[in-house]
């Protein structure tokens, strides 16, 4: 049985944010560029990395992803080119679910969360925010990956 939690919050400060519509195969390069900025600047991650996918589309036979990557850091910074500094990120009144295992099955977990939202007649007002709690150490360790998924819910009763 999968536990779905309600009235959850996702809060971060000093957030390094990258949002762009890019070819899917370029996403890892951007994440590596962010990680290099953190390392070279002497910053420390203050929490897990978060990603949000706003859309996927095919453009000129190339898979494009509209994605945001958020990384909370230990202190203020001037963002590198193409990134943004967010003093605070706060998602409130969210539902969340934990996915443990192969990331290839993450969509199944998200589908369960969406079914819960529909069944309880809730109104989602954000996309899903994927919080990587535990990265796999090696490719063989993908079954140990843990991702919490948050979706903001409207508090309005209409």
Q: What is the DSSP string of 66-125?
A: EEEEEEEBSS--PPPTT-EEEEEEEEEEEEEEEEES-GGGHHHHHHHHHHHHHHTT--EE
**102 and 75 in a common domain:** no
The number of distinct structural domains making up the chain is 2
**102 and 48 in a common domain:** no
Q: What is the pLDDT of residue 139?
A: 63
- 98 within a domain of the structure (yes/no): yes
**pTM as predicted:** 0.91
Write out the chain's pLDDT in tens, 158 residues. Answer: 569 999 999 999 999 999 999 999 999 999 999 999 999 999 999 999 999 999 999 988 999 999 999 999 999 999 999 999 999 999 999 999 999 988 889 999 999 999 999 999 999 999 999 999 988 776 666 788 899 999 999 998 77
**65 and 117 in a common domain:** no
Residue-range definition of the domain harbouring residue 110: 4-10+89-153
**93 and 81 in a common domain:** no
**57 and 18 in a common domain:** yes
Last residue of a domain, which of 63, 87, 111? Answer: 87
């Amino acid at each position: 049985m999968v536990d779905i939690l309600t009235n959850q919050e996702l809060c971060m400060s000093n957030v390094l944010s990258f949002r762009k519509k890019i070819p899917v195969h370029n996403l890892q390069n951007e994440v590596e560029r962010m990680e290099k900025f953190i390392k070279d600047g002497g910053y420390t991650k203050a929490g897990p990395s978060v990603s949000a996918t706003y859309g996927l589309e095919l453009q000129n036979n190339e898979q494009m992803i509209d994605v945001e990557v958020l990384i909370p850091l230990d202190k203020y910074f001037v963002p590198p080119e193409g990134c943004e500094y967010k003093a605070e990120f706060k998602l409130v009144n969210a539902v969340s679910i934990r996915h443990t295992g192969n990331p290839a099955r993450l969509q199944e977990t998200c589908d369960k969360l969406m079914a819960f939202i529909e069944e309880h007649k809730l109104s989602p007002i954000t996309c899903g925010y994927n919080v990587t709690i535990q990265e796999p150490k090696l490719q063989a360790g993908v079954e140990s990956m843990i991702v919490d998924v948050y979706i903001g819910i409207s508090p309005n009763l209409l």
